Amino acid sequence: MNRRWTARLALVAGTAALVVLLLFAGLSSILLVAVGIVGVALAAAGIWWMLTHTGWIRLLAAVLTAATPLVVLVLYTAAGLLWVVLLSIALWALAVSAGRAALVEGSAGMPERSVGPPERPFLIMNPRSGGGKVEKFHLVEKATALGVRVAVLDPDHPQDVAELARQAVREGADLLGVAGGDGTQALVAGVAAEHGLPFVVISAGTRNHFAMDLGLDRQDPAACLEALTDGVELRVDLGRISTDGPGRRSEERVFVNNASFGVYAAVVRSPAYRDDKAHTILTMLPDLLTHHSGARLRVRSESVNLDDPQAVLVSNNPYEKGDSAGLGRRGRLDSGRLGVLGIGVGNAAEATELLLRGRQGRGLTAASAREVVIDADVPVIPVGVDGESLMLPTPVRCRLDAGALRVRVPRNRPGVPHVRPPLDWGRVRRLALAMGRVAAGRDAG
């Protein structure tokens, strides 16, 4: 289906969503929409109160959060209009999906160039990553059969993976790669960038965010080995986080995904987090969200300044704007810009607005920058760097090293990302109605 017909489908589905409400609910449709909005607002407020209080207030908030959607469903059912609401929601979801698809103008993939196979590739594999994917998919055997030298990490004896990679370079390796989590990927990627060598990502971790944004097969890590026999090369950016300051020795780390500051970083840093995640989160969040504990952050860049946000995420390239949180995926890894997301919610009303309006809500700041400095009212703050919890002295500086990493990926990969533009109903309507201009050979988009 071409873009014009997809745009028309979006308009038809969106119109049908409204017509269904008006045709079968009449004036009651206004009440239906109002009930739904009030239900979402009450649920959002309940979640906020549950996260920021303890004791009986948290209990009442939990009851409110659970009961609100049930009450809304009962009201819709009692009015005999539940099916109308569900059908209208389904049509609207189709309209939004089709509208966004219509605005995608071809592939927005990163430039790639054909390359020959490496002569002395070296891969580091973590047998514990992803619940044992290295063994499950026989990655050591398959890589060895391709002539790859493999170093399998010993879970009982922690090793310096960056030093392993540097030793391989000294011994003549002409390609480095990792089968493991994003934290391990980042450490070896930094060595590859330092020596100008190509880097291979094997999606053997748990979340594999970096692999996802490269379009790699996350269900079958072995498919990533095709990069060694039929590969192409991408030039992608690397995030760098440093803590240099007056009288302080400069320290720097690489991140391929993001660095997080504030609430999330503080919770993950807690010694109790690994043993009881849910209890630790519920215990720490009230004080952290209300600023009764934790560092007070200050964020400075050329594009945004934030004072006292509860959480900050600095990413290697911005996340897409298509979902409310913007944390789905990155359409590109070569824009030369860091993504900056800051969350500052002070009360239930702002939490509700954030849930209803997403990036347009006052509690969420989204920007991009070439460099970001995070300072605080304490000398040391917790930071999550690609999922690894660290304690770093302030100020912490994040910057982007544009095009620093040569990534070798399979020529054919299932998830090559398309940049999904924000939904613009004006553009969708113009595209849907542009029949004469298209027939005349002019651009309708």
pLDDT in tens, the chain (445 residues): 588 888 889 899 989 988 888 888 777 777 888 888 898 889 888 888 888 888 888 899 999 999 999 999 998 888 888 888 899 999 999 998 888 888 876 555 688 899 999 999 999 999 988 889 999 999 999 999 999 999 999 888 888 999 999 999 999 999 999 999 888 999 999 999 999 999 999 999 888 889 999 989 888 999 999 999 999 999 999 999 998 665 555 678 999 999 999 887 777 676 665 566 576 666 766 666 666 667 889 999 988 899 988 888 999 999 876 544 445 678 889 999 999 988 887 666 666 666 666 566 667 888 899 999 999 999 999 998 988 888 999 999 999 999 999 999 999 888 766 666 677 888 888 888 875 444 344 444 4
CA separation for the pair 234, 112 (Å, rounded): 5
In the prediction, which pLDDT does 445 show?
Answer: 43
Q: Where are the beta strands (DSSP E) in 270-370?
A: 297-301, 305-307, 311-316, 338-343, 364-369
Contact indicator for 339, 317 with CB cutoff of 8 Å? yes
CA dist list (Å): 127 to 147, 169, 180: 20, 22, 8
**SS3 state at 204:** coil
Let me know: does 345 contact 48? Beta carbons within 8 Å.
yes
Answer yes or no: are the C-beta atoms of 143 and 123 closer than 8 Å.
yes
User: Which tokens sit at 71?
Assistant: 């009450």
Taking the alpha carbons at both ends of the chain, their separation in whole angstroms is 15
Q: Three-state DSSP class for 323?
A: coil
DSSP state of 303: S
- Say what the pLDDT of residue 433 is: 85
| CB burial of residue 253 (10 Å; 0-12, 13-18, 19+) | buried
- At 301, give phi and psi (nearest 5°): -155, 180
Q: How many CA atoms within 13 Å lie on the side-chain side of 33?
A: 11
Q: What is the pLDDT of residue 44?
A: 85
Determine the length of the chain: 445
